Structure 1
Amino acid sequence: MNELLSKLLADWQLLHSIELVATLLAVAYVVLALKHSIWCWPAALLSTLLFTHVMWGSALLSDALLHIYYAGMAVYGWWRWRQLQQQSGQAQPVYEWVWQRHLLLISLTAMAGLVLGYLMANYTHADFAYLDAQTTAFSLVATWLVAKKLLSNWLYWVVIDAVSIFVYAQKHLYFLTALFMLYTVIAVVGYFVWRSQYQMQTTLPGKAL
């Protein structure tokens, strides 16, 4: 019995140590993204690989799959930001879509989240299957919008982060709960910082990439 308790304690400590390192890297990613630093993407890659392990161990399977996707997007984001800088001739280009395009994207993403939630609820042991699936679906889209440097990506993240706070608090993932509280604040700040940059650009409003 003592050996079992010792092993459980060691596993818990390891899981939360990994969570802490991943959290610090995730904070670095968001701050660097806010500053338009392309080095946000290497930080994101390391963070997502560590978080994949944490999510799987916490039975948040949609989130585990999401972080595998994040790792791929970190590579794409690095390439895409370099490409956008070269195309625009600016160090910090920011773009935006018309609201109708966002409405279509939100509708399609919500439907995809319902499908994923159904699969997770009926065929896996996932907790918060539908809610977790919705945050997963919208996080996939929002990460893609970051890679495309769309201003409104920050508004997507405000909602996603607020919902994630509830999920992670219920799972007793304390570092993640604190992280997403910070994320919510940074997302609000990020929106206004990027909007200011967007307004100073000569790029036509509503330009789609």
Structure 2
Amino acid sequence: MMHWLSNALDDWQLMHSLELLATLLALAYVILALRQSLWCWPAALLSTMLFTHIMWDSALLSDALLQLYYAAMALYGWWRWQQMKQQHKGLNTVSEWPWRRHLQLITITALAGVLLGFVMANYTHADFAYLDAQTTVFSVMATWLVARKLVSNWLYWVVIDAVSIYVYAQKHLYFLTLLFMLYTIIALAGYFIWRANYQQQPQLAVSGR
């Protein structure tokens, strides 16, 4: 009995140590992204490698799949931000879309979330299947917008992060819950900082293409 308790405690400490390290790296990613630093992407890659294990172990399967996507996007984001900086002669520029394009994107993404939620609810052991699926597909979309340096990506993250606070609190992932509280605040700040940047810069990338 004591041996089992000792192993359980060791497993708990290891999991929460990994969660803490992944949390710190994820927080570094967001802060560096807010500052438009290329180094946000290596921090994101390391964080996702740890979070993939954590999410799978917590039966948040949609989130586990999302982490694999994040890893790929970290590589794409590094390449894309370098390309954009070269195109604009070393300047950090951001872009924006008209609201109609956002409405189309939201509609398509929400429908994809319903489909993913149905699969997770009926064919896996996932918890919060539909809610987790929606945050997953919107995170996929919003991460792509970050890589494209679209100002409004931060508004999507405000909503995603707020919903994620509830999910992670229910799963007793306390470091993640705290992280997403900070994320929500940083996302709000990120929107206003990037919007100010967009308004001040020459209109070099208004379409986000």
Q: TM-score, normalised by structure 1?
A: 0.98
Check the 8 A contact 1:98/1:206 in 2, yes or no: no
Residue 16 of structure 2: aligned partner: 16
Residue 149 of structure 1: aligned partner: 149
What fraction of aligned residue pairs are identical, expressed as a percent?
70
Give CA-to-partner distance per residue, 1:61-101, whole Å, 9 cap, x none: 00000001000000000000000111122421100111111
Check the 8 A contact 1:113/1:133 in 2, yes or no: yes
Distance in 2, matches of 1:178 and 1:92, equals 30
Shift of 1:34: 0.4
Q: Which stretches of structure 1, 4 residues or longer, exceed 4 Å deviation after superposition?
A: none
Give CA-to-partner distance per residue, 1:152-208, whole Å, 9 cap, x none: 000000000000000000000000000000000000000000001000111168423
Residue 195 of structure 2: aligned partner: 195
Q: Counterparts of 1:29-178 in structure 2 under 5 Å?
A: 29-178=29-178
Amino acid at match of 2:121: A
Check the 8 A contact 2:33/2:40 in 1, yes or no: yes
Amino acid at match of 2:53: H
Distance in 2, matches of 1:145 and 1:62, equals 20
Distance in 1, matches of 2:34 and 2:167, equals 25
Distance in 2, matches of 1:44 and 1:91, equals 23
Check the 8 A contact 1:158/1:187 in 2, yes or no: yes
* SS of match in other structure, 1:175: helix
Task: Give the paired residue count.
Answer: 209
Q: Which runs of 5+ in 1 are unaligned?
A: none
Check the 8 A contact 2:93/2:205 in 1, yes or no: no
Q: Which runs of 5+ in 2 are unaligned?
A: none
Distance in 1, matches of 2:89 and 2:103, equals 30
Check the 8 A contact 2:114/2:130 in 1, yes or no: yes
CA root-mean-square deviation: 1.0
Distance in 2, matches of 1:205 and 1:39, equals 22
